[in-house]
Every structure is written in C-alpha cells, then in structure tokens.
C-alpha cells in the first residue's frame, strides 16, 4: 500500500516536470483597471473602453481581446472614470440599466475591476408596448430554457460519475471537478498543442481521462479502501487531490482563459425562438446520446445492473457474488471518461480555465444531492433541474447571482427532502 | 447468581401480577408503566409496525420476540423518539410521549440501548459513564467555563460511575478507550451507562447479540438485577433460552403487529405463535435464502413505491 | 542565493499575520470538526461575514471601529444560526455540501455588482482600519532583533496586529481548553463518536451542535477581523472555499481535537510554505531552476499542500504530534 501511494504521488509529481511547458506569466504587478466583457456567456471582442480621471482628463483607451478582457495600467492611484463605448458593442447588446460609466478607486499596487453587465436589446423593461414585452419575455424564456438544458446536460455528465462513485464507495469526491477540467485541458493539449482537429482530440482526451480514472482507482482510491480508510478521511483526501490537480493544471496550462482552435466563433443559427451556435446543437446531441447510452448500459448490461446493485447495497451485492472491486473500477474508468467529456463540452460552450471544473463542482453536487446521493438516474434529473434553474432564473435574478439561486434551492431541497428526488429514506437502528 | 436468592420478592411480585392475565394481545396489566395505542409506521408501501394496544407491567421483565423483520427494532425506535410514527399514541407513566424527541424521552426515565452497540470509542470508559448522568451543571456552556461550579457534582458522578463499573466488573478498564473493549464488554458498558441516567424503564435491543458465551450469564444476572432495583425492563431477544430464563412476560410480534402475549413457560405452545412465528422450523433461525427473499420483497415494495411517487 | 532574506521571511512567518489569522480561524474549525465532528466546509464564510461586517459598518455606515467589531460578531452568530438550524439535522456528508454551498453564496453575494454599493464588488472594501491603528501603543518604527546575521523586524502596524492576534489566540485556546475539559466538551466529543448514543442518554444533540457551531464560528470570525485589519482590506475571493481547505490542512497537521493543534498546524503550514516558496523562487531567480518561472513556483507550493494533505491523512491522520489512539477522524 505504502508503495502504491508513493508511486501514485510520484507519478503525479512527475507529470509536473514532464508537462511543465512554456511559462505563462500572469500580471505580476498591477496598478490600474481591468475587466472582462461577456454577453450571453460569450466574450465580447473589440469593445472600446476609455479611462479618464475623475475630472475628465483622458488617461488611456483599451479594446477587449478575444477573451473579452481589457486592462489599463495607470501611473497614480486615485479615482478614475471608466466609460464603455456602447457603439462598439455587438449590435444586439446593450449595457444593463444603461450604465456604461463607472467611477472606481485604484489603490497602490492593486488592480480594480470595472464590470459592465450586458443584456440583449429589447430584453429591457421599458421598451415598446405590453404585448412586445410579453413576446420578448417568452423568447428569452425559451432561449434560457435551451441554454439551461445545455448546461444541465453537461452537469449531468459530470454528476453521473460522481454519483455512482459515491453510491459504490461512499466517497464524496471533491476532486471530481478536477476530472472535468482534466478532460477540457487534455483536449486542448491535443487540439492546440498537437494540432489535431477538436473531434479526434476530444476522443483521445476522453480515452486518456478514462485510463487515468482507472489508474486513480487502481493505485490510489482502491488501495485506500483496502486499508479501511474512513469515508470522512477519504473526503478530505479528495480535497488534497483536488488542490494537487488544480494547481498542477495552473502550472501546466497557466492562469489564462483559452478557447479551442476550432469551432470558436460560430455565427448563431435561429431555430424558432432560440438562437445558438451550431456547435451547441451538436454538443447537446452528443451529450444526450452519451447519457442515453450510459442509461441503457446501467439498465440492460450485466455490469450496469451490478453497478446499480453495488450502489444500492454494497454488502448485499458482494454477498450475492458481485465483484465489487471490479464494478468500482469500471465506474471510475467510465466516470472519469464522461467527466472529461463534460469538461470538453463545457470548454466548447464557455472557455477553458484551470478552475473551470472547480467552479462547476458545487453545481454537480447540487445536481447529485437534488436527485438523491448515489442514485444514477436521480443525478441525471437533478442536474437537469439545476441547469434549467440556473439559466431560467436569470429572467428575474441578475446573471452573476444565478448560482446563488441554485445553491439556495439545493439547501432548501435538502431541508424538505433530504433523500433527494429519487433517494430513499434511511432506516435508523 | 447471588441476585437469585435476594430477588425472590420482586420476581414473585412480578409473577403474581401476571398470574391471572388472559393470553390475548393487548391484555390490560394491573399497573402499566407504558401503554401503547395504535402505533403505525410505514416505509413506503411496507407497514413495518402496526401495534393495536400493548401495556408493559411496572417492575417486570418483559421480552419482545418475533421473527426477523417483525418490526421490533422499529417499534423500539417509535417508542423512544428515534423515529417518528405515522400514527398512534403512547403514554409513559401517564405522560403522552408521541412526538417527544429522543433526548426528552430518555430524560423522562425511558432509556434504551442499541442492537449494534454504540460505545463512544474514543472516550474512556469512565467518560462514557459520566456522560449518562443527568442535570449536570457543567453541561451548560457558561458554567462549563468555571470548573469550580461543576467540580463537586462531577466528583459525585464519578463516584456513582465507579460503583456501577465495579458492579459490571469494568472497573479495571475505567481509563481505557471504550473502543478497545470486547463486544461483550461494550454491551455491559452500554447497559451500565444507561443506568447512569437513573431510568425507570430500561429498553434493551438484543442485549445478547454478539456476546461471547462466557459473558452471557453475567449479562443475564445484570438484567435480573435491574428488576431487583425496582426498574422495569423491556427487551428484544432472539435467544429463546434467555427469554425463558429471565422474562416474566413475553410479547410476540409478527409482521409489525402484536399477535400474542403470555408467560414464557407457555408462550411457545401457543398456537398463534407456532403458526405465525415458529411455524415449520421450530427454534431454527431463518436461513440465508429466506432472509434474502424477505429483503428482496421489501426492496421490491420500496421500488414500486418510489416508481409510483416519481410518476406523479 | 539570498539565504538571509529566505530565513528572515521564513522565521517571521512563524508568528506573522497569516499564521495568526489562519491559526485563530482554524481553532474555530477544530471546535467544529475536531471536537464535534461537524464537517463545516464554510468556515471561510464566518471570516468573511466578520471582515465585511467590520468594513461595511465603518466604510458604508460611517460608524466607529468598535461598532464594526460588534456587527461583525453578530453577523457571525447569525450566520451560524442560518447555517445550523437547517443543516445540523442532516448527515455528515450533506452538512459538508450545504456548508460549502452556503459559503459560496456568501462569497458570490459579496462580489456581486448588484450589491456593489454595500459590499464593494470584487474589489471589496478598504479604509476601515484607522480606528484600530489609532489604538496602537507601539510608536512608529520597526521592532525586533537580529538573529546573528538574520534581521527579524516588524513595523509598528504589523506589531500591533500580531500582538492583538496572539492575545486572541491565547484567549481562544484557553476557552477551548476549559470547555473541552468540562462535561460540556464531553458531550461534544460524544456527539462526534455517535449522535444516537448521546440522544439516548438524554442530551439534546441539536442544541450542543448549535452551540459548537456558534462558538467555532465566532472564533473563526476573529480570524476575519485579523485579516481585514492586517491587510487593511477585505476582498470576497479571499474568503473562498480554498481558504477553508487550508484550514483543514492546518487542523489535521497539528492534530485534530487538540487544543494547540490548529495553532501549531498554522505555524508549520506557513513556515513550510514560505520556506519552499523562498528557496524555489530564489533558485529560479538565480538560475538554478530553469524549467519553471516564479508564478509556477507559486502554484507548486499549493500542489505540495495538496500532496501533504493526502500523505498526512494516509500516514499520520492523528497529525504530527497526535496520539494514534485518539485521532478524531475515523481513518484507521
């Protein structure tokens, strides 16, 4: 056991040195203003920002890059006025509440962030007549439902693995978000680094991630289980793994946001009230197909049935002749692979960052708990609910707070029905 | 056993109280400490407990027996507030107890032990015992900060705990972690700890399960001792020899309901009991296959229920 | 290599602001996790509401410093109740998820544009520490001594913060020591072992868990004040989930359910971190290490924290000085 853990740690450690590629310098010393412009989840390229002193003396101008970022360094600390040129925004976008000017303080050696939330034109409150408002609302509702479904499917992919691992081993895996990031970054490596097309890159990434999932169980979690490590200790160990991997990604990938080299800026397609890039439709198709395949595998195949049996009651399953270790290993392998797929899809619909999985982890937890810890189909339904809720709630809630709503719902659901939607109550005694 | 000789009074009194009672389920007792009415608990579509009427005689040792899955432990959980009943009411010493949380049930004098012992592993044996004492001044947050306030009471508690430990022959272990005790010793510790609460009614869930035979006699003696000290005992047990040996009255449960009551000497010959419980395999435990079958049945019922709920 | 600077910063970090603020917050976490067995993954939120309570009171409401401290403490108590009433009845793993979610909600609200007027958005607040430094008894200057060739000096502001911090740590440790020796602490430890057993002995488990949550939360909130005062600012992302994770590392490193465990854990944690960072970044600067830059060295030390946490729990779950028999975490 000792040897196995050391070997695994050494293996991961070795990765740092093997993969430590070109350095990505972050902003070391920063004194000024910066921000990121996003519109409907996509970065806004080429928007003009001008910075003046409080009394209107021009200081600098900046234009947002492909990631929607802009950055202005200033000589002296003090109050500055930041103006967003509304004319440089995409045609259908406007600043929320019409506020395109912000005044901020810059402190010595620090950067302040100026945010300009954007919204689609016509989504505003005081435009047009009542009937127009109404139809605009429903168009937006349809659009958000679509986006929510998309997000929900991605969460579901990630949640399936987490839920099955929890069900079969009792591990609440805080490092599952990093498996999602892993997939996205691997695909990026094959895509941008090695010049493969995104589709073959994604396929290889999924396979590699599955393999890493297998190795992780074979040489790490499996060994810990054999030692009889308690579930709380394992939960905290998974936090260690999460930190380890997250900062490994930071070293290897860097702290910036990236996009795949293909299918990057696709023009939107209008389908009924919904407008989206074709890649989103394709991605959703793939997600649905994978989920259906996994679902059928769980329902129909021997291994799938065994997996559900183990998740249901490991002791009973073991006593009725199911090789629990083998089932768990298969779950780790496939769980790692589909989590990676979730990461790739997430990278496709948003952007890649070394914290992308971590940021989604709570939503995955929300989906899993909502559906009932350890139930595969519960995780699916829970995730879709979470995804839909997050997006549709932005009809009433500011988008930056949309996760707050989802997390609040998670807490409330746990109060009312702690066993989740599909979970069952435990017997005491 | 030394308890045997000096115990005859209490035992005789208990037996006398049961002497002329009918053998029907729910028969009224002369001086009931616990009266249960229509307690129902369902898990999904499975009715785990559905007890019409039962009384427990004060100062007696009453055994609760029944095949696996008869709902004995669930029934215990309802009575002691560890699980909420779907319906029904019960009184302890005339006080209504339904809806009362577990810790208040214990405070009122009705203390239970668990089928799987719950020794507090990383507390010492003595700390385990001290925990059982009630109304401790030092258990209040602010007073805990001033040791002077609770020191004297703590010494009293320690003295009482040591007496009990000596009686249960655990005094040599007083400073060991409870986790280092053997299974039987844990059962003893749990029982001794329950006595620290000063209960009137002690409810033991399978006190003999997993106990090494050498300790069985000693445990039996302790259970009888409880009655001698004026406590009432209600216990769940599978070992019929033990039931015959120490109980004054036996209540039989099957499929969640009480199906018969009677003295231990004759309960085994009761036709209802033979039919419902002992049936074809007298005195034999359930086989592996039957267990599995029962489990599967329960799971199927649950599954159906869940499906029903999700389709709504 | 500039070993003097490396050793100077390393030794200073053993008592520095970061050690103090994490140490004190970890004492609170130890009450939750080490003694009571509550998997609170939202400890950073207690620090956050306290720091923001202080900052908002002074900056936005224009009230004096001590009023800010009172509001900060009240905010921590309220958070404990908000978090505790719904979650303390849940299973351990649910509690972990709910507390982490709640802490994330707190952070997202702090950094939102919607409430920028109150909480200052992602830049947070500054300029609320005059009241505190007005009380500074240390005249302007540097304080410390030379250990051989190594200078160990803090300026008067830092001195004042860490003096207050260490006094608070001493007080918190004393209180925890008294409580855990008392019957009250005995109930907490028993709850950690088995809730149902404690219930069956007539103790209100919920009430004790709530008391523990409030106590640990209030102690944790002191760490939030120290942060705000030490860095003269509060920013939402400081109070993120990783902060809580680092505190877990410290508690386990020093030994869970030991009075001084979190303090020793915090000292070891920062000394190691600063030393490793100092040595590696110097090596990069001088050119001994060529395959990494300073930013990557910064990330590397967090990798080591992760690896350290894993190895600790696998090989020494009782912590560096703990006794294997009484480890608070069921690791076997």
Query: B114 and C190: CB-CB below 8 Å?
Result: no
Question: Alpha carbon of B148 to those of B127, B143, B152, B218, C170: distances in Å?
Answer: 19, 9, 8, 39, 21
Q: What pLDDT, on a 0 to 100 scale, did the predictor assign at position A246?
A: 93
Query: B145 and C175: CB-CB below 8 Å?
Result: yes
Query: pTM to 2 decimals?
Result: 0.82
- Assess if residue A44 is contained within a domain: yes
Q: What percent of chain A is modeled with pLDDT above 90? A: 19
Q: What pLDDT, on a 0 to 100 scale, did the predictor assign at position A102?
A: 79
Tell me the CATH number at A90: 2.60.40.10
- Assess if residue A13 is contained within a domain: no
Q: C175 at the B interface (CB within 8 A)?
A: yes
Cα dihedral sign, B184-B189-B195-B199: negative
| Cα atoms in the Cβ-side hemisphere of radius 13 Å centred on C140 | 0
Q: What pLDDT, on a 0 to 100 scale, did the predictor assign at position A28?
A: 40
Most C-contacting residue of A159, A233, A249, A394 (CB-CB within 10 A), to test interface: A233
The listed CATH number (1.20.58.1880, 2.60.320.10, 3.40.50.300, 3.40.50.720) that belongs to domain B2-119+183-281: 3.40.50.300
- Those residues whose C-beta lies under 8 Å from the C-beta of residue B159, and which sit 6 or more positions away, are none
Residue A20 has pLDDT above 70, yes or no: no
A102 and A217 share one domain: no
User: C181 falls in which pLDDT band (50, 70, 90)?
Assistant: very high
A258 and A393 share one domain: yes
For A115, the closest of C100, C121, C332 (CB atoms) is: C121
Which chains share 3+ C-beta pairs under 8 angstroms with B?
Answer: A, C
A222 and A357 share one domain: yes
Of A128-137, A166-175, B201-210, the poorest mean pLDDT is in: A128-137
Q: What pLDDT, on a 0 to 100 scale, did the predictor assign at position A303?
A: 85
Highest mean pLDDT among B44-48, B305-309, C223-227: C223-227
How many other CB atoms sit within 10 Å of the CB of residue B214?
8
Query: Going by DSSP bridges, is the β-strand pair B110-112/B201-205 parallel, antiparallel, or unpaired?
Result: parallel
Task: Give me the residues paired with residue B83 across strands.
Answer: none
Q: Supply angle C-alpha A85, A89, A90, rounded to 5.
A: 165
- Assess if residue A4 is contained within a domain: no
Query: A424 and B44: CB-CB below 8 Å?
Result: yes
Higher pLDDT, A332 or A128: A332
Q: B82 at the A interface (CB within 8 A)?
A: yes
Q: How far is B80 from B69, CA to CA, in rounded Å?
A: 19
For B193, the closest of C201, C203, C325 (CB atoms) is: C201
Q: What pLDDT, on a 0 to 100 scale, did the predictor assign at position A423?
A: 59
A194-198, long-range: CB within 8 Å, 24+ apart, which pairs?
A197/A262, A198/A260, A198/A261, A198/A262, A198/A263, A198/A348
- Assess if residue A127 is contained within a domain: no
Task: Give me the residues paired with residue B53 across strands.
Answer: B37
Q: Which three-class secondary structure state does DSSP give residue A175?
A: coil
For A429, the closest of B76, B292, B302 (CB atoms) is: B76
Q: What pLDDT, on a 0 to 100 scale, did the predictor assign at position A273?
A: 75
Higher pLDDT, A353 or A94: A353
Q: How far is C32 from C132, CA to CA, in rounded Å?
A: 29
Q: B78 at the A interface (CB within 8 A)?
A: no
What is chain A's length?
429
Give me the torsion for CA of B178, B183, B189, B195, rounded to 10°.
140
Task: Return the structure tokens found at A302.
Answer: 């021997």
Closest residue of chain A to B116, computed from CA coordinates:
A429
For C201, the closest of B131, B141, B145 (CB atoms) is: B131
* Across C309-332, average pLDDT: 70
Q: B86 at the A interface (CB within 8 A)?
A: no
Rounded to a whole number of angstroms, the distance from the CA of A263 to the nearest CA of chain C is: 30
- Which residues of C fall within a CB distance of 8 Å from A28? 294-295
- Assess if residue A20 is contained within a domain: no
- Those residues whose C-beta lies under 8 Å from the C-beta of residue C96, and which sit 6 or more positions away, are A172, A235, C39, C40, C41
A99 and A206 share one domain: no
Residue A14 has pLDDT above 50, yes or no: no
A368 and A281 share one domain: yes
- Which residues of C fall within a CB distance of 8 Å from A24? 295
| Average pLDDT over all residues of chain A | 79
Rounded to a whole number of angstroms, the distance from the CA of C302 to the nearest CA of chain A is: 6
Domain with CATH 3.40.50.300 in chain B: 2-119+183-281
- Which residues of B fall within a CB distance of 8 Å from C322? none
| Cα atoms in the Cβ-side hemisphere of radius 13 Å centred on C63 | 13
- Domains: count for chain A: 2
Q: What pLDDT, on a 0 to 100 scale, did the predictor assign at position C172?
A: 96
Residue A35 has pLDDT above 80, yes or no: yes
Q: Which of B225, B144, A198, A250 is nearest to C215 (CA)?
A: B144
Q: How far is C234 from C54, CA to CA, in rounded Å?
A: 9
Q: How far is C20 from C266, CA to CA, in rounded Å?
A: 8
Residue A44 has pLDDT above 70, yes or no: yes
Which helix (H) or strand (E) segment holds residue A53: the answer is strand A48-53
* Across A153-159, average pLDDT: 92
* Across C181-204, average pLDDT: 92
Residue B188 has pLDDT above 80, yes or no: yes
Of A209-213, A259-263, A362-366, the poorest mean pLDDT is in: A259-263
B–C CB contacts, 8 A cutoff, strictly below:
106
Of A163-172, A263-272, A406-415, the poorest mean pLDDT is in: A263-272
A172 and A253 share one domain: yes
* Across C214-231, average pLDDT: 94
Query: B123 and C190: CB-CB below 8 Å?
Result: yes
Q: C123 at the B interface (CB within 8 A)?
A: no
Residue A139 has pLDDT above 60, yes or no: yes
Q: How far is A421 from A413, CA to CA, in rounded Å?
A: 9
DSSP secondary structure, chain B, as one string: -HHHHHTHHHHHHHHHHHTT---STTPPPSSEEEEEEEEEEEETTEEEEEEEEEEEETT-EEEEE--TTSSHHHHHHHHTTSS--SEEEEEETTEE-TT--HHHHHHTTEEE--SS----TTSBHHHHHHHH-SS-GGGSHHHHT-HHHHHHHHHHHHHHHHHHHHHTT-GGGTTSBGGGS-HHHHHHHHHHHHHHT--SEEEEESTTTT--HHHHHHHHHHHHHHHHTT-EEEEE---HHHHHHH-SEEEEEETTEEEEEE-HHHHTT-HHHIIIIITTSTTPPPPHHHHHHHHHHHHHHHHHHHHHHHH-
Q: What pLDDT, on a 0 to 100 scale, did the predictor assign at position A283?
A: 87
- Assess if residue A126 is contained within a domain: no
Query: C307 and A13: CB-CB below 8 Å?
Result: yes
Of C26-40, C80-94, C126-140, C165-179, the poorest mean pLDDT is in: C80-94
In which region does residue B91 sit, left (phi positive, over 0), alpha (psi from -120 to 50) or beta (all else)? beta
Residue A182 has pLDDT above 90, yes or no: yes
Higher pLDDT, B168 or A9: B168
A77 and A196 share one domain: no
User: B143 falls in which pLDDT band (50, 70, 90)?
Assistant: very high
Domain range annotation of chain C: 3-240
For B106, the closest of C192, C202, C215 (CB atoms) is: C202
Question: Alpha carbon of C127 to those of A382, C143, C233: distances in Å?
Answer: 44, 24, 7
Closest residue of chain A to B114, computed from CA coordinates:
A429
A197 and A71 share one domain: no
Q: What pLDDT, on a 0 to 100 scale, did the predictor assign at position C321?
A: 72
- Which residues of C fall within a CB distance of 8 Å from A429? 196
Residue B259 has pLDDT above 50, yes or no: yes
Domain that holds residue A74: 35-120
Residue C20 has pLDDT above 50, yes or no: yes
For B141, the closest of C204, C211, C328 (CB atoms) is: C211
Tell me the CATH number at A313: 1.10.3470
- Assess if residue A21 is contained within a domain: no
Which chains share 3+ C-beta pairs under 8 angstroms with A?
Answer: B, C
Of B155-159, B193-197, C95-99, C188-192, the poorest mean pLDDT is in: C95-99
| A105-119 as b/e: b if 16+ CB within 10 A | bbeeebbbebbbbbb
Q: Counting Cβ atoms within 10 Å, is residue C138 exposed (0-12), middle (13-18) or buried (19+)?
A: middle
A–B CB contacts, 8 A cutoff, strictly below:
24
Query: A429 and B43: CB-CB below 8 Å?
Result: no
Of A87-91, A197-201, C138-142, the poorest mean pLDDT is in: A87-91
pLDDT in tens, A211-233: 999 999 999 999 888 888 888 88
Residue B66 has pLDDT above 90, yes or no: no
> Are the C-beta atoms of residues A369 and C94 closer than 8 Å to each other?
yes
User: A43 falls in which pLDDT band (50, 70, 90)?
Assistant: confident
Q: What pLDDT, on a 0 to 100 scale, did the predictor assign at position A374?
A: 64
* Across C214-232, average pLDDT: 94
- Assess if residue A7 is contained within a domain: no
Q: What pLDDT, on a 0 to 100 scale, did the predictor assign at position A265?
A: 66
Q: What pLDDT, on a 0 to 100 scale, did the predictor assign at position C113?
A: 83
Residue B1 has pLDDT above 80, yes or no: no
Which helix (H) or strand (E) segment holds residue C144: the answer is strand C142-147
Q: What pLDDT, on a 0 to 100 scale, did the predictor assign at position A249?
A: 92
| Cα atoms in the Cβ-side hemisphere of radius 13 Å centred on A319 | 8
Q: What pLDDT, on a 0 to 100 scale, did the predictor assign at position C110?
A: 92
Q: 243-282 in B: which are within 8 Å (CB) of A?
A: none
Q: What pLDDT, on a 0 to 100 scale, did the predictor assign at position A320?
A: 81
Query: B306 and A424: CB-CB below 8 Å?
Result: yes
Q: What pLDDT, on a 0 to 100 scale, did the predictor assign at position B302?
A: 67
Rounded to a whole number of angstroms, the distance from the CA of C330 to the nearest CA of chain B is: 10
Rounded to a whole number of angstroms, the distance from the CA of B149 to the nearest CA of chain C is: 11
Query: Going by DSSP bridges, is the β-strand pair B201-205/B32-43 parallel, antiparallel, or unpaired?
Result: unpaired
Of A198-202, B270-274, C103-107, C286-290, the poorest mean pLDDT is in: B270-274
* Across C157-183, average pLDDT: 95
User: C322 falls in which pLDDT band (50, 70, 90)?
Assistant: low
Q: How far is B277 from C85, CA to CA, in rounded Å?
A: 45
């Amino acid at each position: 056991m000792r040897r196995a853990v050391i070997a695994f740690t050494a293996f991961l450690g070795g990765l740092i040195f093997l993969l430590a590629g070109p350095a990505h310098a972050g902003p070391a010393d920063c004194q000024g203003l910066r921000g990121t412009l996003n519109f409907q989840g996509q970065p806004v390229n080429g928007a003009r920002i001008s910075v003046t002193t409080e009394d209107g003396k021009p200081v600098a101008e900046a234009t947002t890059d492909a990631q929607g970022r802009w950055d202005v360094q200033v000589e002296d600390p003090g109050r500055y006025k930041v103006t967003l040129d509304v004319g440089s925004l995409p045609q259908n976008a406007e600043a929320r509440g019409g506020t395109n000017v912000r005044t901020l303080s810059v402190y010595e050696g620090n950067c302040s962030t100026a945010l300009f939330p954007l919204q689609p034109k016509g989504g505003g409150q005081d435009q047009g007549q009542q009937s127009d408002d109404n139809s605009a609302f429903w168009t937006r509702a349809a659009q958000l439902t679509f986006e929510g479904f998309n997000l929900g499917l991605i969460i579901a992919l990630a949640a399936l693995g987490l839920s099955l691992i929890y069900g079969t081993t009792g591990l609440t895996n805080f490092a599952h978000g990093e498996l999602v990031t892993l997939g996205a970054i691997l695909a990026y490596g094959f895509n941008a680094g090695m010049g493969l097309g995104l589709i073959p890159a994604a396929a290889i990434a999924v396979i590699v991630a599955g393999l890493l999932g297998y190795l992780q169980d074979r040489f790490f979690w499996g060994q810990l289980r054999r030692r009889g490590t308690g579930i709380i200790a394992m939960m905290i160990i998974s936090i260690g793994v999460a930190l380890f991997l997250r900062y490994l990604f930071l070293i290897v990938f860097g702290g910036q946001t990236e996009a795949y080299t293909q299918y990057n800026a696709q023009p939107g397609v209008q389908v009924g009230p919904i407008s989206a890039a074709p890649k989103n439709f394709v991605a959703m198709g793939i997600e649905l197909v994978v989920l259906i395949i996994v679902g059928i595998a769980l329902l129909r195949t021997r291994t799938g049935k065994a997996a559900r049996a183990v998740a249901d009651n490991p002791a009973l399953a073991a006593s009725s002749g199911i090789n629990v270790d083998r089932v768990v290993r298969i779950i780790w392998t496939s769980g790692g692979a589909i989590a990676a797929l979730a990461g790739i899809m997430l990278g496709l619909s948003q952007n890649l960052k070394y914290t992308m999985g971590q940021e989604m982890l709570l939503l995955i937890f929300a989906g899993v708990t909502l559906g009932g810890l350890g139930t595969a189909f519960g995780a699916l339904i829970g995730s879709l609910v979470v995804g839909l809720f997050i997006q549709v709630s932005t009809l009433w809630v500011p988008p930056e707070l949309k996760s707050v709503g989802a997390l609040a719902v998670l807490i409330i659901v746990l109060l009312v029905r702690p066993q989740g939607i599909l979970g069952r109550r435990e017997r005491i005694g | 056993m030394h308890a045997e000789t000096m115990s005859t009074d209490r035992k005789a009194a208990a037996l006398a109280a049961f002497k002329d009672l009918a053998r029907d389920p729910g028969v009224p007792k002369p001086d009931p400490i616990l009266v249960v009415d229509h307690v129902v608990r369902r898990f999904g579509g499975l009715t785990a407990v559905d007890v019409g009427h039962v009384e427990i005689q004060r100062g007696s040792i009453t055994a609760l027996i029944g095949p696996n899955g008869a709902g004995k432990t669930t029934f215990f959980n309802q009575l002691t507030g560890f699980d909420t009943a779907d319906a029904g009411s019960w009184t302890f010493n005339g006080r209504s107890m339904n809806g009362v949380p577990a810790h208040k049930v214990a405070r009122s004098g009705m203390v239970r032990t668990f089928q799987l012992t719950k020794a507090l592993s990383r507390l010492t044996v003595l700390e385990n015992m001290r925990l059982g004492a009630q109304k401790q001044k030092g258990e209040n947050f602010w007073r805990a900060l001033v040791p002077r306030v609770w020191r004297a009471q703590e010494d009293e508690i320690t003295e009482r705990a040591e007496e009990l430990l000596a009686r249960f022959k655990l005094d040599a272990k007083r400073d060991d972690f409870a986790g280092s005790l053997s299974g039987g010793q844990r059962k003893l510790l749990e029982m001794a700890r329950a006595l620290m609460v000063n209960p009137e009614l002690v409810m033991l869930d399978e006190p003999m399960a997993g106990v090494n035979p050498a300790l069985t006699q000693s445990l039996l003696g302790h259970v009888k001792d409880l009655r001698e000290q004026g406590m009432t005992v209600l216990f769940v047990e599978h070992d019929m020899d033990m039931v015959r040996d120490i109980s004054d009255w036996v209540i039989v449960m099957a499929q969640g309901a009480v199906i018969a009551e009677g003295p231990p000497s004759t309960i085994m010959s009761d036709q209802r009991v033979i039919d419902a419980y002992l049936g074809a395999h007298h005195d034999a435990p359930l086989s592996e296959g039957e267990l599995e079958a029962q489990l599967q049945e329960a799971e199927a019922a649950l599954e159906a229920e869940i499906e029903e709920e999700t389709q709504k | 290599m500039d070993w003097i600077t490396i050793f100077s910063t390393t030794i200073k970090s053993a008592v520095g602001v970061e050690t103090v603020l994490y140490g004190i917050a970890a004492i609170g976490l130890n009450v939750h996790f080490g003694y009571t067995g509550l998997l609170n993954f939202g400890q950073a939120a207690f620090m956050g509401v306290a720091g923001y309570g202080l900052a908002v009171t002074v900056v936005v409401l224009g009230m004096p410093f001590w009023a800010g401290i009172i509001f900060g403490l009240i905010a921590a108590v309220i958070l404990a109740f908000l978090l505790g009433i719904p979650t303390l009845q849940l299973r351990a793993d649910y509690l972990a998820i709910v507390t982490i979610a709640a802490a994330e909600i707190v952070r997202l609200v702090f950094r939102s544009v919607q409430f920028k007027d109150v909480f200052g958005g992602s830049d947070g607040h500054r300029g609320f520490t005059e009241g505190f430094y007005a009380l500074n008894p240390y005249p302007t200057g540097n304080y410390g001594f030379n250990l051989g060739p190594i200078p160990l000096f803090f300026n008067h502001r830092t001195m004042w913060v860490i003096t207050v911090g260490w006094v608070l740590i001493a007080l918190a440790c004393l209180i925890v020591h008294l409580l855990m020796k008392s019957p009250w602490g005995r109930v907490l430890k028993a709850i950690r072992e088995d809730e149902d057993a404690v219930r069956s002995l007539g103790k209100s488990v919920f009430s004790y868990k709530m008391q523990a949550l409030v106590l640990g939360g209030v102690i944790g909130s002191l760490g939030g004040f120290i942060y705000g005062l030490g860095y003269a600012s509060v920013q939402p992302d400081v109070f993120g989930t990783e902060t809580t994770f680092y505190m877990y590392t410290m508690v386990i490193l020093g030994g869970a359910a030991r009075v001084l465990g979190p303090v020793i854990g915090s000292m070891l944690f920062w000394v190691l971190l600063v030393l490793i960072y100092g040595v590696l970044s110097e090596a990069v600067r001088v050119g001994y290490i060529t395959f990494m830059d300073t930013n990557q060295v910064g990330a590397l030390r967090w990798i080591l924290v992760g690896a350290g946490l894993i190895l600790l729990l696998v090989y020494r779950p009782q912590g560096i000085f703990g006794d294997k028999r009484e480890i608070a975490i069921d690791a076997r």
